[in-house]
Amino acid sequence: MTDDELTIAIIPARGGSKGVPGKNLRRVGGVPLIERAVRASAAADGVDLVVVSTDDSEITLVAEAAGARVVARPADLSGDTATSESALLHALDELEAGGIRAGTVVFVQATSPFIPSEGIAEAVAHIAADRFDSVFSAFETFGFLWRRDADRHAATINHDSSHRPRRQDREPHYLETGAFYAFTADGFRASGHRFFGRVGIVEVPEASAIEIDDEQQLAVANALAALDTDPDAPIPAAVLVTDFDGVHTDDTASVDTDGRESVRVSREDGMGVSRLRRTGIPMLILSTEMNAVVARRAEKLQVPVLHGVDDKATALESWAAENGVALRDVAYVGNDVNDLGPLGIVGWPIAVANAHPAVKAAARVVLTRRGGDGAVREVIERMLAAR
């Protein structure tokens, strides 16, 4: 590479997908797949620029908000038969026409939700050191592979079926993950393919190998994402919106003989809201229930409230627009299935510890505290820590 050549990560992301509609915008761990890919690429040492090649306006908005440069992908390169290589070559041409020249290309696939940034960095380092011309991600496997022959009979591929050696006595093989590839730009242009010259392997964890091609894989990815949360990680949201029942309360109510309801709340949450209010961070309570106890608690906390709301997502969108708030900057805390709408449109969907499983699956953050037991205080402290 020369001094004016960059290491550029390129993420092809079409808007159309038959197996999983809108696949590149579907969320894993509460974050759109395209955003996960952009952030993983940008976090890798040695990557100078992250570029998304797309034909979709919504993907464009999400990619740019995550920090990527977008190259508009023409219709003739956006169909089901278009190759990733064609999109990469088009992006390189467009960048070069604008005065940006790549020395090393990292081809990143958004359909891999768990792309290890350190793996990308290792791949870039191999190319920079001239150890390899092209590199791909793979994980080590000792699996016994089979195929079907012309008669549909089973036939071995990488072993002798009459001899079953122990794992430690076998030679490992490497299964390509599809998450990322790296190569010299000149070599790629000359070959037109991602594998050429001296090909190297970057070993990555097997858990990072999942690729989203159907709804079942998406569900598995969300289950894995829920296990990979840091309970102390700051939450850099600019606005806090919460449900009431099951978030500020423990989701139970006492009813006296006159039908009056009372709920249990946490004083700890009250102190947290007071601290948040002093920083100037906006907060809103958004509740389906039309109940005097919601209004009284909101008044006590000095927090605006919208209650008796059937469609929370639409109400939140309207409130955000009226107040000049970008939804990607909003943290929404919920506990039950009627919170799935707003959780699906904000940048920081958050679930309390005892939330419904579907809510946890949709969340970017699962709190350690239960509703009514300091959950609001926990999210506030993590928002303040981000400042």
Q: Which residues pair with 7 in a beta bridge?
A: 104
Q: Which residue has the tokens 């919504």?
A: 58
Residue 49: closest CA among 111, 110, 102, 127: 102
The alpha-helical segments, DSSP class H, found in the chain are: 33-42, 57-65, 84-97, 117-128, 185-191, 215-227, 267-279, 292-301, 312-322, 340-343, 357-362, 375-385
Q: Which two tokens stand for residue 231?
A: 């309970």
Global confidence as pTM: 0.83
From residue 31, give the alpha-carbon distance in Å to each of 120, 139, 269, 279, 362. 20, 25, 27, 27, 9
Per residue of the chain (387 residues), give pLDDT as tens: 666 899 999 999 988 777 678 899 999 999 999 999 999 999 999 999 999 999 999 999 999 999 999 999 998 888 777 889 999 999 999 999 999 999 999 999 999 999 999 999 999 999 999 999 999 999 999 888 899 999 999 999 888 888 888 888 888 899 999 999 999 999 999 999 999 999 999 999 998 899 998 889 988 898 888 777 778 889 999 999 999 999 999 988 888 887 788 889 999 999 999 999 999 999 999 998 887 888 899 999 999 999 889 999 999 999 999 999 999 999 999 999 999 999 999 999 999 999 999 999 899 999 999 999 999 999 999 999 998
CATH for the 5-141+171-227 domain, from 3.30.2350.10, 3.40.190.10, 3.40.50.300, 3.90.550.10: 3.90.550.10
CATH code for the part of the protein at 239-385? 3.40.50.1000
Output the pLDDT for position 1: 67
User: What is the C-alpha to C-alpha distance for residues 136 and 214, in angstroms, rounded to an integer?
Assistant: 23
Residue 10: closest CA among 182, 220, 237: 182
Output the pLDDT for position 293: 86
Output the pLDDT for position 184: 97
User: What is the C-alpha to C-alpha distance for residues 387 and 150, in angstroms, rounded to an integer?
Assistant: 64
Q: Where are the domains of the chain?
A: 5-141+171-227, 239-385
- Report CA torsion sign: 101, 106, 194, 124: positive
Q: Which residues pair with 337 in a beta bridge?
A: none
